[in-house]
Structure 1
Amino acid sequence: MTPRFGDAPESGRRYVTRPGAYVILPRAGSLLLTYQSHPYPEFQLPGGGIDPGEGPIEALHREVFEETGWRMTRPRRLGAFRRFTFMPEYEIWAEKVCLIYTAMPVRPLGPPTEPHHVPTWMPVAEAAERLGNPGDAAFVRRFARSSRR
């Protein structure tokens, strides 16, 4: 069973299943994150929803570029988690099924194309504390433990 992070689903509320792909992008002890300033400010793993007809890896490449302006390579799946949340940008309650990957950041191609996003490099330990959702933070902590071995 896929673990759940965050609030439990509310009884009687209808949730739209929303699959997404997110990535941990390490380089020299830091992670490439995106800082989203709207609809509320938070640090996030780059990534987002998988569009109809799109696979998770294709979505991951698109989302990383849109949110950071960077190109990445060699994605490898680490796991998945679920969370139940309101998505104000779409005005829906969603059961987000979050597929988590790690990959290598290659180089920036330009600024993010998605409004309100700023690419941000942050030390791994700090990222685990400052990420906006507990599922992302849990995967970053797990990644940090496995990379020390």
Structure 2
Amino acid sequence: MMRRVGKPPVPGKTYRSRPGVYAILPLKGRFLLTAQLRPEVDVQLPGGGVDLGESPLQTLHREVMEEIGWTIARPRRLGAFRRFAYMPEYDMWAEKICQVYVAHPVHQVAPPIEPDHATVVMSGEEAISVLGNDGDRFFLDRFLAMRP
């Protein structure tokens, strides 16, 4: 059974499955994150929804490039969680199935392409204190606990 984080589903709402992939990106003892600036600041692991016809790894590479402008290598899946949320940009209630990977950031090639996103670099402790969702915090905390 997959771990559920956040609020339970709202009774009477119909949720659409929305698979996504997200990356923990360690860089010189810190972590690359994205900050979605509107409608309010929300710090997140870079990543997003899997488009039709895409594999999770294709999505991971695309989303990291769009949200923080970096190429990545050696992605390794850490696990998954699900959460129930309203997605105003799509006007839909979604059951988000979130796969989390750790990957090696290789090179920053561009600023974020995604509108209203900024690249943020923080320590693990700082990131855990500001990440906007419980699943991101859980996996980053678990990743930090696994390190020597």
TM-score over 0.5 for the pair: yes
Indicate whether 1:122 and 2:113 are aligned. Answer: no
Equivalent residue for 2:88?
Answer: 88
State the TM-score, normalizing by the size of structure 2: 0.98
Partner in structure 1 of residue 54 of structure 2: 54
Q: Which residue of 2 aligns with 1:31?
A: 31
Q: Supply the distance in 1 between the matched residues of 2:54 and 2:67 (Cα, whole angstroms).
A: 18
Measured in 2, the distance between the counterparts of 1:133 and 1:84 equals 11
Q: How far does the alpha carbon of each residue in 1:56-89 deviate from its partner, in whole angstroms, 9 at most, with x for none?
A: 0000000000000010000000000000001111
SS in 2 for 1:82: strand
Q: Which runs of 5+ in 1 are unaligned?
A: none
* Aligned partner of residue 62 in structure 1, secondary structure: helix
Count residues in correspondence.
148
Task: Report the Cα offset of residue 39 of structure 1.
Answer: 2.7
Residue 86 of structure 1 aligns to a residue in which SS?
strand
User: Can you give the 5+ residue segments of structure 2 that lack an aligned partner in the other structure?
Assistant: none
1:32 Cα deviation after fit:
0.2
Shift of 1:40: 2.5
Shift of 1:100: 0.3
Q: TM-score, normalised by structure 1?
A: 0.97
Q: In structure 2, what is the Cα distance between the partners aligned to 1:43 and 1:33? A: 7
Report what 2:103 is aligned to.
Answer: 103
User: Could you list the runs of 4 or more consecutive aligned residues of structure 1 that deviate by over 3 angstroms after TM superposition?
Assistant: none
- What is the rounded CA distance, in whole Å, between the counterparts of 1:112 and 1:83 in structure 2? 26
| Contact 1:87 1:93 (8 Å CA) reproduced | yes
1:131 aligns with 2:131: yes
Between the aligned residues of both structures, percent identity stands at 53
